[in-house]
Structure 1
C-alpha cells in the first residue's frame, strides 16, 4: 500500500459521506416537489458542492506522489474533509417539509455552506502549493486558484439571490470548461 493509498483511505471515506449528504438532501427535497418551493439557488449550491468535492478528489490524485503518510497529513486531511462534510450538510435542510421556500433556507445557510467550501479550498490550496516544485507555481496557477477562491467568497457574502446564482453558475461553468479542456488535452 502506498502512502497515498493509506492516507486517502480516510479522506475518500469522508468525501464520500459528504457527497451522500448532498445527494440525500436532494432526494428528500425532490420527494416533496410541489409541497415546497425549491427555487434554483439551493440546487445550484448542491451541484457546486458536489463538483467542488470531485475537484478536490481529482487534485489529490494529481499530487499523490507528493503526499507523505504521517499524522500531520492525516490531521490536515481530516480538517479539510471535515469542513467539506460540514458544508455539505448545510446545503439542504434536514427536514425539507419545515422549509416551504428553499430560497429562505439558502439565504440563511449559504454563508455556512460556501464558507465551508471556501475554507476547505483555502487549506487544500495552501497545502498543495507548499508541496509543489517552484516551477509549477506559475502565475496562471496562482491566478486560477486565487480567482476561484475570490468568486467563492463573493458568492458567500453577496445579498441578492440572483447574484449568488450568477456566481455559482460562473464557478460551475469554469469547472465544466476546465474538465472539457482536460478531456481534450
Structure 2
C-alpha cells in the first residue's frame, strides 16, 4: 500500500547499491536473520535480484561467497568431492526464476538426507524425526514447574516472594 517511490527507496534501493558494490569487486554475502524462520534468506536472495544481480550472482552470495568470507570455502559453499555434504535440493531451478528457491524438497546435513516438509531422515537410514521443542508440551524439562504453567518463565512477581507453586 506504500507509494511506488517509497517502495523503490526501501529494499530495492539498498539492493541496487549492493549490486553496484558487487560490480566493483566487493564480495556480497547473504545474511538473513530476524524474520520468520526460513523466509528471511529467501527474501534477501530475491531482493538481490530485484537490485540487478543475476540469479547466479545472488546464489553465489548465498553459498560460496559466505563460505569464503568465513574461510570455509574449502569445506562448504559449493558441491565438490571432499567437501561437507550440507545442501538443499529444489524441485524448480532458481537460475530460471530466483523465487524457485522456495521449492526445497530435501535437505542434506552432514551427508544425511531429509525430507524438507517433515525433516524425517530418508537417506541411508530411514528415521522419523522426534518433535521439535516447540511441538511438545514439556517446554523445558529442567524445571519442575514447566508443565503446570507451560512456559519458560516462572510465574509470580519479580521479587520472587510469591510464586505459583
Larger Rg: 2
* Structure (1/2) with the larger strand percentage: 2
Same fold (TM over 0.5): no
* Structure (1/2) with the larger helix percentage: 1
Sort the TM-score into its range (normalised by shorter chain): under 0.3
TM-score (norm: length of structure 2): 0.26
